[in-house]
Amino acid sequence: MPYIKNPTVQKDMRVSYSPTYTFFGAEQMLRVRFHGRGGQGAKVASRVLGTAAFLEGYCAQDFPLYGAERRGAPITAFTRISREPILERGVISEPDMVIILDETLLDDPQANPVSGIKEGGIVFINTAHSPAEAKDKHKVAERVITLDITKIGLDMLGLPVLSTLAGGVAARIAGIEEDSLRKAVEKEASAILTDEKLITKNLEASLFCFHAIHSLEVKTTEAIGKESPVIDVPFEPALISSPTINTTGNTPLRKTGNWRVFKPVWNYEACTKCMTCVARCPDGCIAMNEDGFPYTDYDNCKGCLICVEECPVKAIEKVREVHT
């Protein structure tokens, strides 16, 4: 392992490395948690940060956590960075830094992205709002940094995919050098992309985000975390322990409209009431109003835009969603 400098074996058999780095003190660890929606790139963002830290000589660990969900659903990813080998495993419940790729997650009690954040921790929110506005709107007590990386992604990549961009943001806040980030993005992007142009664009966008954020001091915490309490789950008969849903059709409460980056908007002057959009909506969000014109349930429309693509008279427009 060429990155190790002066390894010395201590009495307790743990390998430690003499401090050649400017940022983390001895026995310190930075714990970062990423919150995004499936497909946005939270997993790759955590990987870009982990790889960048690794290339800079730190020990790093990164991994995602998916629930029983798909694209668009809330997911989390984690990165641990330390000068010492990282023995801690499992999800990070008390992060020093949280990177939120989707603002609407702040209002989702199932995602709860700021839960457990350490005092003096940093919250990055992908939003067009200023830090003060975002802090006030979402009632976040910690230090807040904001940047509209969705817009940067759309402008620079042509896609609302935020993996390398959020990686750039996180690397800057964590105090990683530009060169390490550059190498990490090249490595991670070429592992999943074959299009050279797109890799270059990702690198440019990532560095743009890196420089758009001011560097600031992050508090790290002890490398050895507190022991988590073990929850004892008693045995229960199947009738009690297996979940039963005693209602019908309640998924509209989930409000999957939060997933949208673009929304369909109908132009009734051009609409011929052909009902193609109604027949093509996978989620059954589109219905006809009293005048026979189609309308959608914006609370649940996921923004797949099949209706925009399929409309034979192009009466449906694709409009960038701004969640307010």
Partner 1 sequence: MNMTLIKSIKDLPAEENLFPGTPTCAGCGGLLALRHCLKALGKKTVIVNAAGCFTLLSVYPFTPFQNSWLYTAMACAPAGAQGIRDALDILIKKRRLDPKEDLKVMVLTGDGVAYDIGLASTSGALHRNLDFYYICSDNEAYGNTGFQSSGATPFASRTGTTPVGKTSVAGSILPKKNLFEIWRSHNPPYLATISPSHPVDLINKFTKAETYKGPKLFINLSPCPAGWSTDPAHSARLAKLAVDTGIWSLKEAIYGDVRHTVIPRKFKPVEAYLKEQGRFAHLFKPVRQEDVIRKIQEMVDQYWNGIQKKDFIPA
CB of residue 74 vs partner 1: minimum separation in angstroms?
A: 10
Structure tokens given for 183: 């190498």
Q: Does 256 bind partner 1 (CB under 8 A)?
A: yes
**H helix or E strand, kind and range, residue 178:** helix 178-192
Q: Other CB atoms closer than 10 Å to residue 300's CB: what's the count?
A: 18
Candidates 117-125, 202-210, 222-230, 303-311; binding stretch for partner 1 (CB under 8 A): 303-311
Is residue 223 within 8 Å of residue 27, measured between CB atoms? yes
Structure tokens given for 145: 């940094």
Indicate which single residue of 146, 164, 180, 300 sits in contact with partner 1 (rule: CB under 8 A): 300
Site for partner 1 in 154-193 (CB under 8 A): none
Q: Does 247 bind partner 1 (CB under 8 A)?
A: yes
Candidates 63-71, 93-101, 132-140, 224-232; binding stretch for partner 1 (CB under 8 A): 63-71
Binding mask 192-211 for partner 1 (x = CB under 8 A): --xx----------------
Least Cα distance to 58 among 31, 76, 91 occurs for: 31
Handedness of CA 292, 293, 299, 303 (dihedral sign): positive
Indicate which single residue of 137, 183, 187, 254 sits in contact with partner 1 (rule: CB under 8 A): 254
Where are the extended beta strands (E) located within the chain? 7-9, 15-17, 28-37, 59-65, 74-82, 97-100, 122-126, 143-147, 221-222, 262-266, 286-288, 294-296, 316-320
CB of residue 253 vs partner 1: minimum separation in angstroms?
A: 7
Q: Does 259 bind partner 1 (CB under 8 A)?
A: yes
7 DSSP β-pair partners: 17
Tell me, rounded to whole angstroms, the distance of Cα 74 from its chain centroid: 8
Binding mask 270-289 for partner 1 (x = CB under 8 A): ----xxx-xxxxxxxx-x--
Nearer to partner 1, 75 or 223 (CB): 75
Indicate which single residue of 181, 301, 311, 315 sits in contact with partner 1 (rule: CB under 8 A): 301
Where are the extended beta strands (E) located within 39-101? 59-65, 74-82, 97-100
Q: Does 305 bind partner 1 (CB under 8 A)?
A: yes
3-class DSSP state for residue 37? strand
Candidates 4-12, 215-223, 224-232, 250-258; binding stretch for partner 1 (CB under 8 A): 250-258
Q: Footprint of partner 1 on this chain (CB under 8 A)?
A: 38-39, 68-73, 194-195, 243, 245, 247-256, 259, 274-276, 278-285, 287, 297, 300-306, 308-310
